[in-house]
Structure 1
Amino acid sequence: MKKASFTRLCAVNSDIVYLGTMPDDQELATPFTAICQYNAGEWSYETFDFALASLTLYREPGSPHRVLYVLGETGTVVNFHTKDRETILDLPKAPCTKHRLGYLVKIRQIGDHLYVCGDGGQTYRRSSEGQWQALDLDFFDGPDAIMDPKSELRLMGAFLRIKENRTQENYDKEEKLRLQNESKSLWDVFGLSEDSIYFAGEKKTVYWFDGEKITEIPTEADRGLLSILVENEDRVWVAGRDGNFLVGNHKTGFRDLDALRGIDGWPDFNGMTMFNGRLYLSSYADPRGLFVFDGHHVEQVRCGLTPDIEDVSAVEAVDGVLWVMGRKDLLRYDGTHWERIDFPGNDLLR
């Protein structure tokens, strides 16, 4: 295998994980992905001709088996076992006049169906027949006001070119219009039932789908929200940029926990998982690392290996094992012992 960087993680059980990988010598935006499987010491891989967005396991109703589904950024969905392909939307050919679209970001099974979210407020559900349908078209972003010379935002920009109009009140109006025009980028989707699904968004927002429509839920966030985990109906965890870490639900809203302690910086939390009754969070920046919430405080995790846990971008727990992935690192923790797993082709981390 060539030297590669890990981009996505999907844990199957205590011995098997799938990794989305990208060759180190590959140019950015190249439509290529290698999905690698680690199975109790053995590596294998298959390649695909698109840029990877997300991985998830899917169990069809009545089936004892789970199958890996692969989501491409531009709307391709692949059954990893059969290699059957579906298209959510043909992004290069999609009309841009009515809705702003953009890339897809996350795929996850909720109830009996697969759900997908992404840029522009895009939210989709896969039917039992393999057809993809929008959850709430009214929630999708409309046309970009910057491109419309008659829009309020463009007219306000022209208005502010006149010196006597440059008041704080008018600047505030322009800022409000600009924020309203920003794309609703949805980074994560999670739910315990199909009539109660949450989305985490870049606009410091959480959205909730009740089975019919999507509504915005108030939060105390002051930066973009990247990850969401529904523990139960009342306790929903949300985390994001600059240490934002909140809890709540669609009835109460989401409050900031102000729980970070002894951390040098403001982590960008992009993933969460429950392991042995505690909430673990991954941060890909400022600082990178693995963190744990003990019910009172969020602290950085140290494993005692050399190097320690520094390169982190994803975390998942399954069957009593915590899997931690970074750009060049893969760690396995059984609650007692940490193990670093070497990837063939990459330099050893020792």
Structure 2
Amino acid sequence: MTKSAPVEFINAVALDGESIYISGSLDALPAYSAHVRLFLYDELVDPVWRHHDVDWWSIATAVFVESDEAPWALSCLSNEGQVEYIRSSGDPIVESIPGAGVHRSGAVRWGYMSNLKQIGDHLYACGGAGQVYKRLGKDHWVHMDEGVLQAPDVDDRLLPSAIDGPHEEAIYLVGALAESGYPPRVHFWNGKTWRQLELPEVAERLTCIYVETETRIWLAGANGTLLLGNAEDGFVSLSSVDDNQLFLGVCEYFGKVYLPSNLGLFVYDVDNPQAGIQEVVTGLTPELQDARIIDRASGVLWSVGGKDIAKFDGKVWTRIQHPDNDPI
């Protein structure tokens, strides 16, 4: 790979302690162009960086294990509802979620898609106006959003940002309403119906979910919102932030909760709550330049920003340089 196409990273999913799957937009293209480059970084192969391109805007990446017998697949969701799968061998496979998207042929125009996640044995995707889809098999996506799906032309549109849960009878859909202040919304699927959950008054627009256990669900979002709880016991606010900090992700790692944001990477120590939410000091030179995505796999924590990639093994942070970008 030559240093001819600098990229800005958009989404990522950690695979293990040595590898991560990342989508990136080419700096030479206008923002949100319908073209991204998908990178697999793997320290155990040569070359360590491999990539291919797709003609859409990536909105989420995920690992999908269809069954114990099937090999895992790297998955990527576009804002228009295309889903690509890459396995260890063979060409990429692309599916389209019927009705999803805005400009794609056949789109009902509920709104753009926003997140993709494996929960239990199935992939789930969510998007504007309360869209929730479940993948039942190859090219077989079905709605499971009765009770949350709105009409395509509704004004106070529900804007889901993330979907996740400990299993398929406990799924959380988080986001906000498209109205003044973007009030936060959480809907919970109990295996039969959706219901809206109450939230602390201080909570604001939600962007992300992390499932630590069935009873410890972490939610984070705008103006320093950090919530912990579950559908049965409710959620409590743990935030000590009172400014315009926007948390973009949340991930628990050995008793500490890491939060990438517009201001950098931050951490909340569960065993030392009075310390509040503090900026992470990595010891890197220079320190982390930005942080957008946080994920963990095989005991390693990964942080991905627009240009800066680093991983933490619990003792030492290591920066990973992308060959197409200028050294940090």
Distance 1:266 1:129, change over 3 A: same
Alignment-derived partner of residue 195 in structure 1: 169
Using the alignment, how far apart are the partners of 1:44 and 1:93 within structure 2?
A: 31
CA root-mean-square deviation: 1.9
1:71 Cα offset (Å): 0.6
Alignment-derived partner of residue 221 in structure 2: 240
Show the 5 A alignment for 1:1-350.
Answer: 1=2, 2-40=5-43, 42-63=48-69, 65-81=71-87, 82-90=91-99, 91=101, 92-94=104-106, 96=108, 101-145=110-154, 181-203=155-177, 204-220=184-200, 221-260=202-241, 265-283=243-261, 285=262, 287-295=263-271, 296=273, 297-349=276-328
Using the alignment, how far apart are the partners of 2:125 and 2:214 within structure 1?
A: 21
Asked if the contact 1:331–1:339 (Cα under 8 Å) also holds between the matched residues in 2, the reply is yes
1:95 Cα offset (Å): 6.2
Alignment-derived partner of residue 167 in structure 1: none
- Higher mean displacement: 193-202 or 85-94: 85-94
Specify the SS of the correspondent of 1:202.
strand
Using the alignment, how far apart are the partners of 2:256 and 2:151 within structure 1?
A: 40
The amino acid across from 1:273 in the alignment is: C
Specify the SS of the correspondent of 1:271.
coil
The amino acid across from 2:191 in the alignment is: G
1:347 Cα offset (Å): 0.8
Specify the SS of the correspondent of 1:142.
coil
Distance 1:223 1:339, change over 3 A: same
Q: Aligned residue pairs: how many?
A: 306
The amino acid across from 1:194 in the alignment is: E
Asked if the contact 2:250–2:257 (Cα under 8 Å) also holds between the matched residues in 1, the reply is yes
Asked if the contact 2:111–2:152 (Cα under 8 Å) also holds between the matched residues in 1, the reply is no
Specify the SS of the correspondent of 1:120.
helix
Asked if the contact 1:74–1:89 (Cα under 8 Å) also holds between the matched residues in 2, the reply is no
Using the alignment, how far apart are the partners of 2:19 and 2:250 within structure 1?
A: 19
Asked if the contact 1:290–1:312 (Cα under 8 Å) also holds between the matched residues in 2, the reply is no
1:9 Cα offset (Å): 0.9
The amino acid across from 1:293 in the alignment is: D
- Higher mean displacement: 62-71 or 136-145: 136-145
Q: Which has the higher strand share?
A: 2
Distance 1:64 1:129, change over 3 A: closer
Compute the TM-score of the two structures, normalised by the length of structure 2: 0.88
Alignment-derived partner of residue 174 in structure 1: none
Using the alignment, how far apart are the partners of 2:239 and 2:68 within structure 1?
A: 43
The amino acid across from 1:206 in the alignment is: V
Q: What stretches of structure 2 of length at least 5 have no aligned partner?
A: 178-183
Using the alignment, how far apart are the partners of 2:305 and 2:80 within structure 1?
A: 24
Compute the TM-score of the two structures, normalised by the length of structure 1: 0.82
The amino acid across from 1:11 in the alignment is: A
1:144 Cα offset (Å): 2.9
Asked if the contact 2:96–2:139 (Cα under 8 Å) also holds between the matched residues in 1, the reply is no
Q: What stretches of structure 1 of length at least 5 have no aligned partner?
A: 146-180
Alignment-derived partner of residue 180 in structure 2: none
1:199 Cα offset (Å): 1.2
Residue by residue, what CA displacement relative to the aligned partner does 1:107-166 show, whole Å, maximum 9, x if unpaired?
110000000111111101000344000112342122435xxxxxxxxxxxxxxxxxxxxx
Asked if the contact 2:62–2:117 (Cα under 8 Å) also holds between the matched residues in 1, the reply is yes
